[in-house]
Amino acid sequence: MPKVLVVEDNRSLASMAKAMIEDIPGFEVVVTANGTEARSRAQEDPEGFSVALVDLNLPDAPNGEIVPVLQSLSIPVIVLTGYFGEELRTKMVDLGVVDYVLKKNISAYEYVAGLVKRVHLNRNTKVLVVDDSPSVLSMLTRYLNIQCLKVITATNGAEALQRIGEHPDIKLVLTDYNMPVMDGFELILQLRARQHKDQLAIIGLSSSGEGRLSAHFLKSGANDFISKPFSYEELLCRVNQNLDYLDQIAEIRDAANRDYLTKLYNRRHFFITGRPLFHQTVFQQKPVGVAMLDIDYFKRINDQYGHDAGDIALRHLAAMLSTEFSDSLVARFGGEEFCLLICDDPDTTRHKLDAFRERVSQSPVSQDGHHFSFQVSIGYASSVSESLDALISAADANLYQAKEQGRNRVVSDSDATESQAASASTRRR
């Protein structure tokens, strides 16, 4: 869990900062009221603090003396200040603080909370900087490192493409225009052929004399543009804004693809991802199958223990499915029905499904002091190869058989064939 150190002698401001930061899911705040206390907390556990939020004017450190102390323990610092001037700004930028924020109203704290989250996320965020000037590369690297970003560098477009190949998880590219071998526009065109604006952000950089370059960069597919020379603050704001945009799009996309209750993928995403995966697997002549899984007598759980208990059971089963079928595409199709696309040998899968069914029946759920168990029926099909939809229909038919035969069982293609043969022979007799 990310921990934030707040160093503030004004109790109400400290409480406000704590409340706003702890509003971010998973964040914990430790408040200290002076420099001495902050130093000993940070020394006790320097690894533990993701970032520190520091009041510049503390009773025992009135001129920001605590800032370099925390930085020497590798804790990035965001400064809160009650006054502001050019001299202070220069001092803060020279010290290498992540940002300085004027404590004037509540929106300053909202901004700080967003920044705290950004700094934490930046630790796993890769940025590629492309410029043929060593001095620009080293300045950008220093500025971006202050923001805790992982910086990778290249000196021209061709080298940048190589770096992207080595690090496909790069999220942001900052690129100059005028470079040898391959310029910034050509680089952007090549990058955009592979990744859209909401997957990879690109910021163009060029000297302020080249007036029309900004429009040209944007038309070529850049998300944003910065004129050189630029201030640390402008770089920080543009980089953060672009990374926040990517994260928000990813969150929206994820919310659209997932079932709200169980957080498993929904039916829509199952088909979008599953159809190409199915065709690719069939084309490669590898085994592929679908399992339809349904909780037995689920209505009774709702009726007996309440709808909340039913929801807990659904989440419990979803968590088990995610863990035990982590290599498969798992979705909640609706109600108490789940669907799995499994790319594995049918015999192995059949055994795995049966073992899973058994485990479900032996893992009780607790709600309000009540403990209850439930069972599942599973239909598995792997012998149909014309389409994913046909495979799902076959699995569904097998699930129907499992319910008909008494529930709490797995019925696969071979079981269904055997049972049809048995009933045909009974009819013949």
DSSP codes of every residue in 213-239: HHHHHHHHT-SEEEEES--HHHHHHHH
Pick the closer one to ligand GTP by CB: 286 or 300: 300
Residue 297 CB, shortest distance to ligand GTP, in Å, is 5
Radius of gyration of the chain (CA): 29
Residue 311 CB, shortest distance to ligand GTP, in Å, is 5
Residue 290 CB, shortest distance to ligand GTP, in Å, is 18
- State both tokens at 171: 């999220």
Pick the closer one to ligand GTP by CB: 279 or 407: 407
Residue 295 CB, shortest distance to ligand GTP, in Å, is 5
Calpha distance 157→136 (Å, rounded): 16
Residue 301 CB, shortest distance to ligand GTP, in Å, is 7
Pick the closer one to ligand GTP by CB: 63 or 366: 366
Residue-wise burial string across 282-301, b where 16 or more C-beta atoms lie within 10 A, e elsewhere: beeeeebbbbbbbbbebeeb
Pick the closer one to ligand GTP by CB: 298 or 338: 298
* Residue whose CB is nearest to ligand GTP in the complex, by number: 310
Residue 93 CB, shortest distance to ligand GTP, in Å, is 53
Contact indicator for 29, 52 with CB cutoff of 8 Å: no
Pick the closer one to ligand GTP by CB: 350 or 409: 409
What's the residue count for the chain? Answer: 429
Largest Cα–Cα distance in the chain?
100
Residue 306 CB, shortest distance to ligand GTP, in Å, is 8
Using CA atoms, how far residue 264 sits from 199, 256, 346, 361, in Å, is: 22, 11, 24, 21
Backbone angles phi, psi at 402, to 5 degrees: -60, -40
Residue 422 CB, shortest distance to ligand GTP, in Å, is 23
Calpha distance 201→18 (Å, rounded): 31
Residue 349 CB, shortest distance to ligand GTP, in Å, is 22
Calpha distance 146→98 (Å, rounded): 6
Pick the closer one to ligand GTP by CB: 120 or 316: 316
Pick the closer one to ligand GTP by CB: 39 or 332: 332
Pick the closer one to ligand GTP by CB: 210 or 404: 404
Residue 403 CB, shortest distance to ligand GTP, in Å, is 6
Q: Give the strand pairing for 370-372 and 365-367.
A: antiparallel
Residue 294 CB, shortest distance to ligand GTP, in Å, is 5
- Tell me which residues touch ligand GTP (CB under 6 A): 261, 294-299, 302, 307, 310-311, 314, 335-336, 403, 407
Using CA atoms, how far residue 421 sits from 112, 209, 418, in Å, is: 70, 83, 5
Using CA atoms, how far residue 254 sits from 21, 249, 266, 268, 289, in Å, is: 23, 8, 10, 12, 25
Pick the closer one to ligand GTP by CB: 279 or 403: 403
Pick the closer one to ligand GTP by CB: 27 or 333: 333
In a 10 Å sphere around its CB, with 0-12 CB exposed, 13-18 middle and 19+ buried, how is residue 245 labelled?
middle
Pick the closer one to ligand GTP by CB: 160 or 313: 313
Beta bridge partners of 331: 265, 339
Backbone angles phi, psi at 100, to 5 degrees: -125, 140
- For residue 7, the SS3 value is strand
